[in-house]
Chain A
Amino acid sequence: MLYFSKLRIISVILFTLLFSYFAASNFFKFDDNYFNRNINLGLDLQGGSYLLLEIDNEPVVIQQLQNKLLQIKNYLKEKEINYKNIILKNNKVISFEINENQLDKTKELFDKDDSDINPYYQKYKSHEFDLFINNNIFLLNFSKYGLINIKSSSQNQAIEIVRRRVDEIGTNEPNILKRGNDRILVELPGLDNPDRIKSLLGKTANLTFRFITQNEEESFGTEKLLFEDSSDVAIVSRRIVLSGDNLIDAKPRMDNQNNETVVSFTLDRVGAKKFAKATSTGVGKRLAIVLDGKIISAPNVQEPIIGGAGQITGNFTFQSATDLALLLRSGALPAPLNIIEERTVGPDLGQDSINAGILSLIIGFCLVISFMLFRYRIFGLIANVTLIFNLLLLLGILTLFEATLTLPGIAGIILTVGMAVDANVLIFERIKEELKNEKNQIVAFDTGYIKSKTTILDANITTLIAAIILFIMGSGPVKGFSVTLGIGIVTTLFSVYFIARLLTSLYVIKNKFKEKLI
């Protein structure tokens, strides 16, 4: 175990130097075109906001069921199947009745693999809808995979909109990720007051222009809606003149005429046409501008608006007009988002944590190396040099993978300092035991290394298992702990078996005639 070939010595040295360089590049600015990586600081160290959003898919599912119901009606008519009592039950199940003699035919239409009305997902081996037949009543509800399909498509749309909104605010390198199939994680480094982003993400921003009507019996139906800034109610037609989809730009602006802040918008070609048509037939009527079910304002149409541009008035401050314009530019969310977890750390707490982490690392390190020096003298020194390289390797690997360092991650490094010497202690103690019966010191060192090997592996694998499970199950900063702890074990094994053993062998071979080496 003590023998090292020249090639091995050189590779150990090169490897160690390389990773030490990686580690050092965090602290000194090297002008390096090949290696340009850094350890990232977690939100708990650099300050910032962590928001977990959940998409409320229920309205989307209901909307899809309503659309499906219409589709089924048309489809059955087209296939000349007589149906009756088609309804959507509890907003969950589409139910309809079929004549006895058409049961099999209808069943086949919904059940076959190339069904037009109930698509089959090859990938999941499942239809969009599960079909239940009760006598002559057909019941359809979304299958597990049908729901997954809806969820992931609304997640895809939502993450795009969230990204646009966050980008518009212009925070520093935001991190926006999918979680599961109905959640979105937003990490905003450096942001210590996420209230504005929270209020922007909390709005669906579903904008519609609809006429206010006195006549409750309109063909499209009507609904009563509240005004945004008062408790007034107006009856608004369900017919949508124009929706936010047709907007291509929106900006806050000062209206010079009456010194009011307004949001001016530009429409695409289709939108401009629709708007022109609606405003020319509707001169004199009030056009309600509805955002997320509330009326922002309802101005009178004074003249046809044909240029494809207009403005929204309301009781805006400059800030609220800016926010509304931002929301309109970035588009509507497919479904409402709820913030289900928020963690915000201010930048000075982050700095305090860094300082405390570094202080306790230095103190812990000094305590451990003093103890080792006191206990093992020259071999304590070897263990300590090994420990320094161990830390450099650990930092080097973290840098290489651009891992995120959190406060618990720093705790993991300090713990590694405490536990890393264990392997050397096991070896040294074993060598001491061997020396009781073995006169040849080199042989004793050699057997010491060999006999302690399985124990060291066993002991480290157990901690590694704990770290891996924590990595899989843990979240946020705690995950950072498992990363440093786990990598720490790997670097410990490397540094003990290559660096410490090399140093030991050099020392022992040089001093083999000395009495009592350890």
Chain B
Amino acid sequence: MEKKIIPFNNLYKIFNLTSSILILISILLLFFKGLNYGVDFKGGTLIEIRTSNNSISISDLRKSFNKMNLGDISVKEFGTKNDFIVKFEKKINDKENTIENIRKNLSSLIGNTFEFRRVESVGPKVSSELLMSGIIAIALSLCAMLIYIWIRFEWQFSLGAIIALFHDVVLTLGFFSLFGFEINLSIVAAVLTIVGYSMNDTVVIFDRVRENLKKYSDIKIFDLTNISINETLSRTIITSITTLLALLSIYFFGGEILKGFSFAMILGVIFGTYSSIYIANPILVFLRVSQRTIIKEEIK
């Protein structure tokens, strides 16, 4: 059964334009709107509260916490109607035992109908260190990928792959900025995994492009990339599907704590699959990769 060849390459231009615009929008968002950092990166305190009293509403909690003079407070529902996340900027001062005081104050205000399921408190020094090491980790992983692919392939391929990676990371972060989703340590882990996944996807197509360059000397790179994309297409789709199935399962059943992580990964897998086809390959076309490119390298 011969499969029909899908002309992905006809849409290179239009998607390149779209991606450029999306990257621009993402960068503008990151600069002007910024990211919604969680306590890991901004410092402050987070308390996850579960109430056993159904009549306690989010505004009851907000009112109670406002009375405690803790600075800026945000209260959100967390998954169910009885779970809440309370965040405030003031770091728990160990000398005053703020958590204990909050517990006492809260039970006098809303009764002893709640428990603290989780407390996270990060000082300003630690949060800025965590942010720095997160940024370094992402930068380092991009560099490591660059080096790896530079050793394995010709520079044109490296450039294509890195721009695709950059695209995926910037778009994922732009998306988080646009919707104000929280950035915490697990999002950094997600971004790093996206970098790995996107690279993985690109490398598979590039391997095929390289193989085909050796095989056919008379096909232009514009069509050659399309042949390679088509040949690897069923693998690209199947792997994306199985990875997405695993991620959707984490998103829906893995609990609230993993929601942000799995959501970022789902975005990343979609962007990564898209960018391997529509970012990495057009760059090979743009850089006029030909059989000579890889033969020259091999002679060297």
Contact = CB atoms under 8 A, between A and B. Distances in A.
A483 to B, nearest CB: 11
B126 A466 contact: no
Contacts of B265: 415
B130 A418 contact: no
B241 to A, nearest CB: 6
Among B185, B232, B246, the most chain A Cβ lie within 10 Å of the Cβ of: B246
Interface stretch (A22-30, A219-227, A347-355, A391-399): A347-355
A418 B244 CA distance: 7
Contact of B97 (A198, A461, A482): A198
Nearest to A456: B204
A349 B48 contact: yes
B246 A462 contact: no
A364 interface: yes
A475 B130 contact: yes
Contact of B258 (A343, A371, A372, A408): A408
B207 interface: yes
Contacts, number: 224
Interface string B187-215: 01100110111011101100110000000
Interface string A395-419: 0000000000001101100110111
A419 to B, nearest CB: 6
A465 B120 contact: no
B54 interface: no
B236 to A, nearest CB: 9
B250 A364 contact: yes
Contacts of B189: 408, 470, 474, 478, 481-482
A6 to B, nearest CB: 33
A466 B250 contact: no
B95 A202 contact: yes
Contacts of A407: 255, 257-258
Contact of A425 (B119, B120, B200, B235): B235
B142 to A, nearest CB: 10
Contacts of A469: 137, 140-141, 144, 192
B245 A364 contact: yes
A459 B125 contact: no
A342 B201 CA distance: 39
B203 A458 contact: yes
Interface stretch (A169-177, A246-254, A333-341, A494-502): A333-341
A419 B121 contact: no
Determine chain B's interface SS by DSSP, over half rule: helix
Interface in B237-260: 238-239, 241-250, 252-255, 257-258
Contact of B254 (A357, A372, A470): A357
B246 A415 contact: yes
Interface in B55-108: 92, 94-95, 97, 99-100
A345 B118 contact: yes
Contacts of B95: 202
Contacts of B115: 346, 348
Contacts of A18: none
Nearest to B237: A425
A458 B152 contact: yes
Contact of B193 (A349, A363, A415): A415
B118 A417 contact: no
B118 A344 contact: yes
A413 B92 CA distance: 34
A408 B119 contact: no
Contacts of A473: 133-134, 136-137, 140
B92 A342 contact: yes
A459 B204 contact: yes
Nearest to A198: B94
A478 B197 CA distance: 17
A411 B262 contact: yes
B242 A356 contact: no
B200 A463 contact: yes
A419 B118 contact: no
B241 A371 contact: yes
A199 B148 contact: no
B238 A375 contact: yes
A433 interface: yes
A371 B239 CA distance: 11
Nearest to A192: B116
Among A349, A359, A411, A454, the most chain B Cβ lie within 10 Å of the Cβ of: A411
A360 interface: yes
Nearest to A426: B235
B249 A463 contact: no
A429 interface: yes
Interface string A427-464: 00100010000000000000000000011001111111
B126 A411 contact: no
Among B189, B200, B244, B261, the most chain A Cβ lie within 10 Å of the Cβ of: B189
B123 interface: yes
Nearest to A454: B207
A421 B242 contact: yes
Contacts of B125: 54, 340
Contacts of B185: 474-478
Interface in A33-54: 44, 52, 54
A352 B186 CA distance: 18
B253 A359 contact: yes
Contacts of B164: none
Nearest to B249: A364
B238 A425 contact: yes
A509 interface: no
A298 B117 CA distance: 43
A364 B254 CA distance: 10
Contacts of B239: 419, 421-422, 425
A199 B144 CA distance: 44
B289 interface: no
Contacts of B196: 462-467
A262 B249 CA distance: 59
B254 A360 contact: yes
Given A417-B242, A425-B235, A425-B242, 10 more contacts: A198-B94, A339-B94, A342-B122, A343-B120, A356-B258, A364-B250, A426-B204, A429-B234, A470-B192, A478-B188
27 contacts: A340-B126, A348-B117, A349-B117, A349-B118, A353-B255, A356-B254, A360-B254, A364-B250, A371-B241, A407-B255, A407-B257, A417-B242, A422-B235, A422-B243, A425-B242, A426-B204, A458-B203, A461-B148, A462-B148, A462-B196, A466-B141, A467-B192, A469-B144, A470-B189, A478-B186, A481-B186, A485-B193
Closest 7 CB pairs of A and B: A418-B246, A466-B196, A364-B249, A356-B255, A463-B196, A473-B137, A360-B253
